[in-house]
Amino acid sequence: MTSEAIARREQVRTDRVARYERMVEIRALEDRVQELFAEGLVHGTTHTAQGQEAVAVGVAAAARATDSVTCTYRGHGVALALGLTPLDVIGEIMGRTVGSIGGVGGSMHLCEPAVGLLPTFAIVGAGIPVAAGAALTAQVRGTDTAAVAVFGDGSSNIGAFHEGLNLAAIWSLPVVFVCENNQYGEYSRINLTTPITDLADRATSYGMPSQIVDGQDPDAVHAATEKALDHARAGSGPTLLEMKTYRYAGHSRADTAPYRPEGEFEDWYDNRDPINGFRARLEAEGTLTPEQVDAIGHEVAARIEAAVTDAEASPRAGIETMFANIVAPATEGT
C-alpha cells in the first residue's frame, strides 16, 4: 500500500478538490468506525475526530512527504490526510493483518514512514518531544526537512508541551507545533482547566512566533502551516499554531458528551462545519459542481464499505505478532 499512500499524499498537496474529497472520506470513516465498535468488531477504545477534518487536511497539504508528523490517539483523520488508505486505517483499528502496521497497534497506533507519519501516541502530549527530536535530526543532518507535532489543547497543560517548546526554541529547531484546540480535554471544557482563552499566547514565554487559525477552514490551515514550515526550513526556528476547532463526538467510543452546553454542538455544526463550508467555497469558485459533490459522496461511501469488507475478510493479528519487532541483545554462546 506504500505506493498508493504516496499517490494519495500528493493529491492532497496539489489538488483542492482532492482535499475536499479527503475531508469527506475522514468524516465517513470516523462515522463507520463508531458503527463498527457498536457492532462488536473493534476491540479496545477508539477516539474519533468528526469536525476536525480541516486541520488534518490543511496540515497534510502544507507538509512534504519527507517531513515527520506526530499526532495523537485521535489520529485517524491525520493518517488519512497524509495518505494512508481507508483499508490501512480500518484494518488496523479492527486488528487485522492488512492494517498499517499489521493489526498490532489498533486505533491509537497508526504509522506509515513513507508519508512521514511517525507512530501515533496514546499518551497525551507524547508526540511533542518526539517531533522536536525529529527536527533535531534534520538540523544535525543538515537537511531541509521539518517536523510537525499535532496535539490537543489538553496537552498544553502538561510538562512535555513546555519542555518540548522550550527545547525547540533554544535550539531553533525546524518544527511546527499544531495545537488542535477542540475546546475539550477528554471530558473537561477548556475554560475549566486552562486560565487563558488563546493557547497561542503561550508561545511568548518561549520567544517563538504564534498564530491563531480558523481550524474549520482548510485553506487557512494550509496557509498558516506552510508559512510556519517555510520559517522552520529557513533556520528561523519553531512556531506555535493554535487551530480553533471542535470535535463532534465525545472523547471516546462510549462518551455521548452530556457535559457540553446546550446548543454548542448545533452552533458549530450548523454554522462552522468544515466540510460544508469548504464545499460552498469551492462551488462558489466554480471549482466544484453539485454533480461532483454527489459523485464524491457515493465514491467515498463505496470505498469505505469496500475497506470494511476487505478488513473483515483478512486474518486477525495473531498473538505471536506481539514479539515480531522486539530485538533482544545477543547472549553468550548464541
- Domain with residue 270: its CATH number is 3.40.50.970
First to last CA, the chain: 36
| Domain carrying residue 58 | 2-312
Write out the three cell numbers for 280: 460552498
* Range scoring the smallest mean pLDDT among 9-23, 102-116, 183-197, 280-294: 183-197
Residue 144 lies in a domain: yes
Q: Is the pLDDT of residue 237 over 80?
A: yes
* Range scoring the smallest mean pLDDT among 10-19, 131-140, 260-269: 260-269
**Which of 136, 126, 161, 97 is closest to 324 using CA atoms?**
97
The CA distance from 41 to 38, in Å, is 8
Phi, psi (5° rounding) for residue 176?
A: -115, 125
The pLDDT of residue 98:
95
Q: How many domains does the chain have?
A: 1
pLDDT band of 279, cuts 50, 70, 90: very high
- Average pLDDT for 261-286: 96
pLDDT tens per residue, range 247-271: 998 888 778 888 899 999 899 999 9
What DSSP designation does 253 have? T
Residue 151 lies in a domain: yes
Residue 334 lies in a domain: no
Q: Is the pLDDT of residue 334 over 70?
A: no
The pLDDT of residue 332:
67
Residue 11 lies in a domain: yes
pLDDT tens per residue, range 188-212: 888 888 899 999 999 999 999 999 9
Q: Is the pLDDT of residue 176 over 90?
A: yes
Write the burial class of residue 128 (CB in 10 Å: 0-12 exposed, 13-18 middle, 19+ buried): buried
**Which of 168, 195, 90, 75 is closest to 123 using CA atoms?**
75
Residue 321 lies in a domain: no
Residue 16 lies in a domain: yes
The CA distance from 184 to 193, in Å, is 9
Residue 330 lies in a domain: no
Q: What is the mean pLDDT of the chain?
A: 94
177 neighbors 152 (Cβ within 8 angstroms): no
* Range scoring the smallest mean pLDDT among 31-35, 92-96, 245-249, 318-322: 318-322
- Average pLDDT for 56-85: 97
Residue 320 lies in a domain: no
pLDDT band of 80, cuts 50, 70, 90: very high
pLDDT band of 170, cuts 50, 70, 90: very high
Write the burial class of residue 226 (CB in 10 Å: 0-12 exposed, 13-18 middle, 19+ buried): middle
